[in-house]
């Protein structure tokens, strides 16, 4: 079994109008090399589900987003995402703005093949005002409580970035927080995982390594070898986020062409070289909060 | 550092009281002053509080602000984002946050300002505010008390629910404390309205009134208590040794 694909082979599996879920959280462990590949393709009109960071911003800057399903978009140390803000303030994208936990609930419903999951979250807020498609259920038990029926967020494709993988799609997230990547994988028809390293199965660390295997390989349609593939986001414990680059990226919201020519008009290896090379990236310290 | 007690220190001391009596729950202070305040609560009156290192681990002592040697952190547990959601839905948490707007119902906004379809200013998004507000106790710190933050009418995008919808929350809804650069408040006024509990030194009720976009009641006009010498040394020597707190009000 060999699921290893190139970035281009993943792009060939995608098409316009798809619903794509993106793993990671804010400026952490985003599959940025795959996002850059989408930006360089002619794919458009995507519905994107994300705990958003520069993945969302970059797709917005390239006009790839029809609709965004989100709880926040942030670069962590830089709280507000300039490209996403611009897209929203210019009314360029549709949004389904949800509580972070409602996003999880929607992914979980999809993962469990359920139409919805009930929750109180969202009641009493404008999340309901601005998402009139959200329906309610009444508890069938004696409490008769009225709850939000958070609909399943079914994904055509999930894109994730991990620390280690083998050719069969046994993946490992070594960083301390796996975020909600597992649910993205379970909610999607197909999941493509970029990985810092693609190793032989016997080099995955046996039982100790298996503790980092957050979802089973049957969910993984393709593995992409992408060293430094999360840059400029972090990939703990390998490297922290590149604050200097994130600042440059944010500033590019004013005039994007120069940034695009420098960083989006190239292969994944050329990109790494253009931002200082893999050694420099792997030396970026993890952030301290 | 001067020996004079700063406004930031007065706010930290006042804000730390929010967690008094909370027992063994997760205390989350988001932002400079709330985080130091949560740490001060844990080091003084509420030692059973759980706190994270700002990321994924629960640690036994509050993480000081600024650069530190994390190898000295005594890790005692795990608190991934997934675990935070599970924890907060169970109600075992008290967060202190800084919204961009708050209204007379205690509703807050961190999502966007202006017309929703094309906001004048897009902010973060509602984040976890809807779930926090309906699931557990919350407190609020506002460093810039003005009619732009304490707005007339309702906030532009209701991100956390307020007292007018408290019946939806299964009895858990509470805004315990509101600390600003002008004074200390809660929502225990008549019909769950904002009421003034104390004024910071040099601030008058009129100062608060002209900077608040809605009516509030005055429970007390006393001066906000000064931090004790124990609190001051914990703030200055333990929780914020690099004096990052002074940046919040340019002190």
What confidence score (pLDDT) does residue B224 get? 98
Q: What is the pTM of this model?
A: 0.97
Low-confidence ranges of chain A (pLDDT < 50): none
Q: How far is residue A141's CA from residue B24's CA, in Å, rounded to a whole number? A: 31
Q: What is the largest CA-CA distance in chain A?
A: 63
Task: Please write the tens of the pLDDT for every residue from B97-154.
Answer: 999 999 999 999 999 999 999 999 999 999 999 999 999 999 999 999 999 999 999 9
From the list B128, B158, B159, which residue is nearest A101 (CB)?
B128
What confidence score (pLDDT) does residue B170 get? 84
What confidence score (pLDDT) does residue B70 get? 86
Interface of B with A in 70-99 (CB under 8 A): 70, 78, 80-82, 85, 88-89
Q: Is B157 on the interface with A (CB under 8 A)?
A: yes
Q: How far is residue A224's CA from residue A9's CA, in Å, rounded to a whole number? A: 9
Are A126 and B82 inside 8 Å of each other by CB?
no
Q: In chain B, what residues touch A129 (CB-CB under 8 Å)?
A: 158
Q: How far is residue A141's CA from residue A223's CA, in Å, rounded to a whole number? A: 46
Exposure of A221 in the CB half-sphere (CA atoms within 13 A): 17
- The structural domains of chain B, ordered by start, are 7-245 (3.40.1080.10)
Interface of B with A in 222-241 (CB under 8 A): none
Whether residue B1 has pLDDT greater than 70? no
Q: Looking at chain A, how many residues does it have?
A: 289
The number of C-beta contacts closer than 8 angstroms across A and B is: 130
Q: How far is residue B92's CA from residue B86's CA, in Å, rounded to a whole number? A: 9
Domain boundaries, chain A: 4-98+153-277
| CATH class name, domain A4-98+153-277 | alpha beta
Interface of A with B in 109-128 (CB under 8 A): 120-127
Q: Residue B2's pLDDT band (boundaries 50, 70, 90)?
A: low
Q: How far is residue A254's CA from residue A86's CA, in Å, rounded to a whole number? A: 9
| ipTM score for this prediction | 0.96
Residue with tokens 């007379």: B104
Task: Please write the tens of the pLDDT for every residue from B191-226.
Answer: 999 999 999 999 999 999 999 999 999 999 999 999
Cα B41 to chain centroid distance, Å, stands at 12
With a CB cutoff of 8 Å and minimum separation 6, the contacts of B70 are A288, B53
**Mean per-residue pLDDT of chain B:** 96
Q: Is B170 on the interface with A (CB under 8 A)?
A: yes
Task: Please write the tens of the pLDDT for every residue from A134-176.
Answer: 999 999 999 999 999 999 999 999 999 999 999 999 999 999 9
């Amino acid at each position: 079994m060999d699921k290893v694909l190139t970035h281009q082979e993943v792009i060939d599996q995608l098409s316009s109008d798809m619903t794509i879920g993106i793993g990671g959280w804010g400026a952490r462990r985003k599959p940025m090399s795959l996002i850059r590949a989408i930006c360089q393709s002619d794919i458009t009109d995507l519905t994107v589900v994300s705990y958003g960071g520069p993945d969302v911003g970059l797709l917005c800057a390239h006009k790839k987003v029809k609709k965004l399903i989100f709880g926040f978009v942030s670069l962590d140390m830089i709280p507000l995402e300039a490209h996403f803000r611009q897209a929203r303030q210019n009314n360029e994208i549709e949004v389904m703005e949800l509580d972070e936990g409602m996003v999880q609930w929607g992914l979980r419903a999809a993962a469990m093949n359920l139409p919805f999951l009930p929750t109180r979250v969202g009641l009493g807020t404008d999340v309901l005002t601005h998402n009139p498609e959200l329906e309610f259920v009444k508890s069938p038990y004696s409490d008769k409580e009225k709850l939000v029926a958070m609909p399943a967020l079914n994904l055509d494709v999930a894109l994730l970035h991990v620390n280690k993988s083998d050719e069969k799609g046994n993946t490992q997230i070594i960083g301390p927080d796996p975020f909600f990547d597992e649910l993205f994988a379970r909610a999607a028809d197909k999941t493509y995982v970029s990985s810092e390293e693609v190793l032989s199965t016997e080099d995955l660390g046996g039982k100790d390594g298996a503790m980092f295997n957050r979802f089973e390989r049957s969910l993984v349609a393709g593995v992409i070898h992408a060293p430094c593939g999360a840059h400029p986001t972090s990939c703990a414990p390998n490297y922290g986020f590149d604050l200097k680059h994130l600042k440059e990226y944010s500033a590019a919201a004013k005039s994007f062409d120069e940034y695009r020519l420098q960083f989006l008009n190239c292969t994944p290896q050329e990109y790494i070289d253009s931002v200082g090379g893999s050694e420099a990236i792997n030396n970026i310290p993890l952030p301290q909060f | 550092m001067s020996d004079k007690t700063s406004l930031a220190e007065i706010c930290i001391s006042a804000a730390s009281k929010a967690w008094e009596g909370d027992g063994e729950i997760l205390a989350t202070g988001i932002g400079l002053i709330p985080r130091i305040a949560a740490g001060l609560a844990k080091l003084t009156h509420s030692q059973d509080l759980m706190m994270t290192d700002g990321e994924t681990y629960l640690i036994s002592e509050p993480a000081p602000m600024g650069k530190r040697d994390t190898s000295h952190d005594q890790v005692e547990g795990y608190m991934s984002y997934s675990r935070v959601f599970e924890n907060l839905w169970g109600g075992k948490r008290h967060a202190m946050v800084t919204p961009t707007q708050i209204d007379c119902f205690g509703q807050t906004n961190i999502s966007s300002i202006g017309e929703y379809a094309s906001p004048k200013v897009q902010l973060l998004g509602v984040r976890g505010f809807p779930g926090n507000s309906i699931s557990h106790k919350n407190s609020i710190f506002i460093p810039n008390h003005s009619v732009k933050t304490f707005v007339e009418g309702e906030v532009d995008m209701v991100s956390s629910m307020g007292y007018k919808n408290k019946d939806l929350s299964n009895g858990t809804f509470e805004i315990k404390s509101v600390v600003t650069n002008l004074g200390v408040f809660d929502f225990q006024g008549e019909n769950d309205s904002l009421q003034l509990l104390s004024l910071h030194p040099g601030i008058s009720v009129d100062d608060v009134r002209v900077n608040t976009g809605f009516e509030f009641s005055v429970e007390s006009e006393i001066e906000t208590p000064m931090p004790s010498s124990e609190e001051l040394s914990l703030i200055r020597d333990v929780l914020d040794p690099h004096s990052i707190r002074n940046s919040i009000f340019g002190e």
